[in-house]
Amino acid sequence: MSREPLCLLAATSNRGKLAELRSLLADLPIEVRSLAEVLPDAPPVVEDGATFLDNALLKVRAGALRSGLVTLAEDSGLEVDALDGRPGVRSARFAGEHATDAENNAALLAALADVPDDQRRARFRCVMVLLDPRSADQPVVTEGRCEGWIGRQPEGSGGFGYDPLFVVEAYGRTMAELGEAEKNRVSHRGEAAQAMRSALEALIARR
């Protein structure tokens, strides 16, 4: 007799991140539910942590406490060497509190306008956290990163956020120019999810 899939709350309101998580975990017996589906009236979590881990923990604990479900959260962003690691945890708000992707991309290009091509190194980083509210275990934390550099103009129509500007070192193309399978193989979120698989599989086996 087959088991019911594990119901997993993805503690994000970002539709792009939700779609990527569902794709990355599609081969596991997991039903990924969104915040909109499980907690439509819950107030947004104030992401005021100093690090990606701080923010991921804030989101995973709030989601697990409010829903009672096994919860997966992540916090991620872009670190640019020439900007001393900015935008970092403020990646979604680089151009302002309610900035659009286009506004953030424009702000990044403006900040790097005078930076030569060989000094535009950058990376995407993701910290992912898994928490089972019915267990006394500590949250499981994994991390992923993807190295590359910032281009001079947006290229590609896929992805979201800074994907059109971030040239992936492994491919020499922007993240927005990659297909889903290519992106999942090298992305920061893909690497963090791959590292999380053993914890998810162990949790599934215990249920």
Q: Give the active site residues.
A: 75
Neighbours of 66 (CB within 10 A): 19
Q: Which two tokens stand for residue 148?
A: 């590359």
Which residues pair with residue 174 across a beta bridge?
Answer: 167
Residue in 51, 59, 62, 57 with CA at minimum distance from that of residue 14: 59
For 116-148, give one letter per residue: b (16+ CB within 10 A) or e: eeeebebbbbbbbbbbbbeeeeebbbbbbebeb
Q: Say whether 108 sits in a helix, a strand or coil.
A: helix
Strands 121-131 and 70-80, by their bridges, are antiparallel
